[in-house]
């Protein structure tokens, strides 16, 4: 829209005229609804059980076993090598003895047979599965103790703690140890690619642990899903340990195949070859200018390449997440899924989107799906807003309006989404369709 005076003065004239006329209101189908419930995938009010401490000595005993296996098998535990299968056999034997239902899934990579070990804890809601996993393979150059016997041992000892507690979680718990991660997430991609859509839809989340005991550790939390991220951040703040968002690994570990099909993911990481900064030393101690793990993918990645405090804290954090996300309420009404990330809206340009991933729910979305929108904009009449369901169906929330010069779109719309499966990647699509004035998607959320 080409204006001669500044937009504000022209608008002031138009608005004062328009004040005599009906003001723009959201389309009837998206009439504002009641404010949403507190934001969490498990509704407020359901109390999760407190996790036990994970004994560091037990975790380190697994590391010693993995080191011995590598030493006895050519110095590594790599895909296709005897050290990897011996690692699988060790973990499987522990889980079988602890009452898990274990499954060995095979695949082929580079002409060699690979193995994923899947362990299900009997019980819990079969339609709401919480998964935790770690890759068990090393590179060929070493024993792979920090990368990734630490993650494998932390997940193993948490699973054994579930057994010791004879836990009866709300959700069904599934643990996984992946093969051939170092060759390109081969094992976890094989698992996800061969998981039918109906089975994927049951996964409420996948928690990934790849390098959780780096010798010069940082405390990094994956920021792929706000609810899972919050569980981990709350745990560490309870310890008085600062955390940072994990930025090095998008797509670089076994959470990626799950995220790529719309499953909520999270995890922890203590750092690889990047150097720790002086600012990070202030938070965490250690050595500035030195890699978080100077033996990353090297022959020196052995049992002396681990920081016990980091390993202990992260193992306890795994247990905290499993107990918190696994024993909280199942999906009663009022679950909130939100995305707090800012997305810039180009002036008079292409539409932008922000995604919220819903998983682990059963059935379709409700007839009164609440869509909470917080868009900052200096001329909201420019803005068109749609909710796009996982199958691509668009629901118009707000049309543009040439005379609505007010700031911001902060509304809760109600959408009849009862024809849409609840699980999947929902998107808020926003487009600025008039020149001048710009804005940002500040946050948005779905309340079921
Ligand atoms: N892909 C992992 C190492 C790795 C590097 N950056 C990140 C970030 C988050 C998790 C893991 C990683 C490996 O080499 O096994
Ligand atoms: Ca501990
Ligand atoms: Zn690696
Ligand atoms: Zn790794």
Q: How far is CA 50 from CA 167, 169, 255, 375, 438, in A?
A: 11, 12, 25, 38, 46
Cα 323 to ligand 2 centre (Å): 14
Cα 57 to ligand 1 centre (Å): 25
* Residue 269 Cβ < 6 Å to ligand 1: yes
Spatial CA neighbour of 112 closest among 132, 89, 83, 135: 83
Closest approach atom of ligand 1 to CA 297: 14
280, containing H or E segment: helix 278-284
Q: How far is CA 297 from CA 184, 315, 394, in A?
A: 14, 22, 46
Closest approach atom of ligand 1 to CA 147: 15
Burial label for 68, CB within 10 Å (0-12, 13-18, 19+), is middle
- pTM: predicted TM-score of the whole model, two decimal places: 0.70
Q: Which residues of 15-38 are buried (b: 16+ CB within 10 A; e: fewer)?
A: beebeeeeebebeeebeebeebbe
DSSP codes of every residue in 413-447: EEE--TTSBSSEEEEEEEEE-SSS--EEEEEEEEE
DSSP codes of every residue in 83-126: HHHHHHHHHHHHHHHTT-EEEEEEEEETTEEEEEEEEEES-SEE
- How far apart (Å, rounded) are the C-alpha atoms in residues 307 and 277? 18
Residue with tokens 């060790």: 90
* Residue 210 Cβ < 6 Å to ligand 1: yes
In the chain the first and final C-alpha atoms are separated, in Å, by 38
Q: Strand 112-121 relative to strand 101-109: parallel, antiparallel, unpaired?
A: antiparallel
- How far apart (Å, rounded) are the C-alpha atoms in residues 363 and 357? 15
Q: Which residues are catalytic?
A: 181
Token readout for 101 is 């239902």
- How far apart (Å, rounded) are the C-alpha atoms in residues 358 and 322? 19
Q: How far is CA 318 from CA 34, 267, 314, 395, in A?
A: 36, 9, 6, 39
Spatial CA neighbour of 404 closest among 28, 11, 32: 11
Cα 223 to ligand 2 centre (Å): 24
Cα 319 to ligand 4 centre (Å): 20
Query: Dmax over Cα atoms in the chain, in whole Å?
Result: 86
* Residue 244 Cβ < 6 Å to ligand 1: no
355, containing H or E segment: strand 352-358
**Res 357: pLDDT:** 84
Could you list the pLDDT tens digit for every one of the 448 residues in the chain? Answer: 333 334 544 444 333 333 322 222 333 333 333 323 223 333 333 456 789 999 999 999 999 999 999 999 999 999 999 999 999 999 999 999 999 999 999 999 999 999 999 999 999 999 999 999 999 999 999 999 999 999 999 999 999 999 999 999 999 999 999 999 999 999 999 999 999 988 998 999 999 999 999 999 999 999 998 889 989 998 999 899 999 999 877 789 999 999 999 899 999 999 999 999 999 999 999 999 999 999 999 999 999 999 999 999 999 999 999 999 998 755 544 588 888 888 999 999 999 999 888 876 777 888 889 999 999 999 999 999 999 999 999 999 999 998 899 999 999 999 999 889 888 889 999 999 999 999 999 999 999 8
Spatial CA neighbour of 94 closest among 144, 170, 155: 155
- With beta carbons less than 8 A apart as the criterion, state whether 91 and 156 touch: yes
Phi-psi map region of 397: left, alpha, beta (phi>0 left; psi -120 to 50 alpha): alpha
What 3-state class would DSSP assign to 175? strand
Which residue among 210, 275, 314 is best mutated to probe the pocket of ligand 1, counting the most ligand atoms within 8 A of its Cβ?
210
Domains and CATH numbers, the chain: 23-326 (3.40.630.10), 336-447 (2.60.120.260)
Which residue among 177, 223, 253 is best mutated to probe the pocket of ligand 1, counting the most ligand atoms within 8 A of its Cβ?
253
Q: Helix/strand/coil (H, E, C) string of 15-36?
A: HHHHCCCCCCCCCHHHCECCCC
Q: Strand 203-209 relative to strand 125-135: parallel, antiparallel, unpaired?
A: parallel
Where helices occur in 130-196 by DSSP H, the ranges are 150-165, 186-193
Within a 10 A sphere around the Cβ of 400, how many other Cβ atoms?
17
* Residue 274 Cβ < 6 Å to ligand 1: no
- How far apart (Å, rounded) are the C-alpha atoms in residues 153 and 147? 11
């Amino acid at each position: 829209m080409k204006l001669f005076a500044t937009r504000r003065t022209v608008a002031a004239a138009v608005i004062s005229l328009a004040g005599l006329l009906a003001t723009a209101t959201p389309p009837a189908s998206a009439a504002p609804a009641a404010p949403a419930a507190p934001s969490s995938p498990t509704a407020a009010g359901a109390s999760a059980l407190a996790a036990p401490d994970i004994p560091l000595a037990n975790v380190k005993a697994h590391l010693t076993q993995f080191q011995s296996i590598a030493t006895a098998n050519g110095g590594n535990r790599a895909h296709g090598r005897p050290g990897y299968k011996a690692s699988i056999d060790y973990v499987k034997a522990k889980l079988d003895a602890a009452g898990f239902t274990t499954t060995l899934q095979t695949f082929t990579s580079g002409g060699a047979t690979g193995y994923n070990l899947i362990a299900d804890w009997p019980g819990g809601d079969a339609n709401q599965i919480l998964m935790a996993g770690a890759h068990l393979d090393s590179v060929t150059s070493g024993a792979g103790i920090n990368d990734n016997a630490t993650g494998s041992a932390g997940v193993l000892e948490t699973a054994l703690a579930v057994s010791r507690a004879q836990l009866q979680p709300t959700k069904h718990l599934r643990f996984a140890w992946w093969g051939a991660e170092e060759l390109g997430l081969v094992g976890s991609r094989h698992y996800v690619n061969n998981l039918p859509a109906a089975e994927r839809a049951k996964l409420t989340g996948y928690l990934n642990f790849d390098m959780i005991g780096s010798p010069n550790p940082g405390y990094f939390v994956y920021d792929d899903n706000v609810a899972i991220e919050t569980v981990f951040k709350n745990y560490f703040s309870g310890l008085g340990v600062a955390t940072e968002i994990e930025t090095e690994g998008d797509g670089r570990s076994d959470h990626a195949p799950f995220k790529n099909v719309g499953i909520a993911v999270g995890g922890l990481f203590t750092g690889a070859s990047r150097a720790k900064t002086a600012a990070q030393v202030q938070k965490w101690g250690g050595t500035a200018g030195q890699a978080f793990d100077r033996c990353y993918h090297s022959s020196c990645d052995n049992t002396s390449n681990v920081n016990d405090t980091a390993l202990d804290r992260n193992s306890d954090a795994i247990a905290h997440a499993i107990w918190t996300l696994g024993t909280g309420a199942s999906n009663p009404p009022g679950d909130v899924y939100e995305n707090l990330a800012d997305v810039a809206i180009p002036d008079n340009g292409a539409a932008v989107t922000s995604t919220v991933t819903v998983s682990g729910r059963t059935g379709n979305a409700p007839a009164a799906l609440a869509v909470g929108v917080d868009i900052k904009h200096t001329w909201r009449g420019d803005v068109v807003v749609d909710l796009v369901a996982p199958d691509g169906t668009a629901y118009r929330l707000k049309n543009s309006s040439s005379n609505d010069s007010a700031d911001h779109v902060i509304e809760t719309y109600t959408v009849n989404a009862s024809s849409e499966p609840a699980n999947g990647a929902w998107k808020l699509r926003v487009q600025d369709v008039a020149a001048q004035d710009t804005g940002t998607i500040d946050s948005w959320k779905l309340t079921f």
